[in-house]
Amino acid sequence: MKKIFGLPLILSLALALGAAGSLPAQPYLYYALGTLGGGTSYAFGINASGQVVGESQTTGGQTRAFLWTAGGGMQNLGTLGGSFSRAYDINDQGQIVGAATGSSGPVRAFLYELGEMKPLGDSGVESFAFGINSSGQVAGRTGEDINMKAALLPPAGGYTLLGANPPSEAAAINAAGLVVGTLTNESGFCRAFWWTPASGVNDLGSWGDEYSSFAYAVNAYGQVVGEAETADGIRAFRAAAGTPGLQDLGALGGSDSYALGINNLGQVVGISLTSSGDYHAFLYSGAAMLDLNDLVQGLPEGVYLQSARDINDQGAIVGYDSDNRAFLLLVPLPSTLFLMITGLMALVALGRRRQKK
């Protein structure tokens, strides 16, 4: 991919000085993350250091999990011996989880660390890993179709079932080991749930007995986001594990919205239908849902941000655009700070030239 001049420095400073729960005074800076040679890429997760994971097509049209860093660009993480892989999440230690195929058998959850992709779960049984916390605990599912069950997938292999009625899956896990996901109740409706070792499985709620709900992400404070059906469509929600009720986050003029990521400041990102019938990426901050396309500069002509999938505590956002290309949005540096940094860089360059004489 084409390297972005100065991005490693700008990224580290932007991450260190990101806004604490407020919108930037200037538009977000847009960066296209490129591909692994093919036509599409999708970013699903970002950690505190700005490392991004997702999937991309290769030159040969195969789907591969990737790790993107400011200094190294997009790296192909390979597979478990097969033709497919996808990375869903990355923790602050740089451990990555996802799913991949081997030379034979079903799709397997994986853990990628220290340059090696290792299978999780039981061999011969389909599994997916969707979330990993700072302690390396992995949340996902084992089994397939009506038999898929929410589970923890330890690095040593095997799995621990959470007791959520199948079909079910665990979508995310926070630092305290609180897991969120989706199960199927006895009436056949999907329900968002939260789980801890002490409390077991708990129904997060819905907007009616005959409406489904789904949980996708959780922050360190037990705030959960997802989607829930209503009489008029589907709405993004935010809720608190252990507290009754779902907060309707609204939509961007259309009937449907989906909350996909949340940071520890309570900022939420996702996707919403607009009044024109297009899906746009959104940021919910404070008490308002905002179209990210109104908050960004540098978008190519004719391209719009379609889905925002994750946000870190510095406000950096990842997702994909209308061209099905992965993107990164950074909070801009204040102008005075930018001038100071530029001056420091000039002094460093001058010092290096003098050392060479």
pLDDT, tens digit, 9 for 90 and up, residues 2-18: 334 455 555 555 555 45
Q: How far is CA 257 from CA 29, 117, 240, 268, 289, in A?
A: 24, 34, 19, 12, 10
Q: Is the pLDDT of residue 306 over 50?
A: yes
Q: Please give the pLDDT value at position 22.
A: 58
Count the neighbouring beta carbons within 10 Å of the beta carbon of residue 222: 17
DSSP tag of 178: -
Q: Which helix (H) or strand (E) holds 347?
A: helix 335-356
Average pLDDT of the chain, as a whole number: 90
CA distance linking residue 20 with residue 252, whole number of Å: 24
Q: Domain 28-356 carries which CATH code?
A: 2.130.10.150
DSSP 189-218: -EEEEEEETTTEEEEEE-SSTT--EEEEEE
The residue among 127, 91, 85 whose CA lies nearest residue 310 is 91
Q: Please give the pLDDT value at position 25.
A: 54
pLDDT confidence band for 205 (50 / 70 / 90): very high
Q: Please give the pLDDT value at position 332.
A: 79
pLDDT, tens digit, 9 for 90 and up, residues 44-62: 999 999 999 999 999 999 9
Q: Is the pLDDT of residue 96 over 80?
A: yes
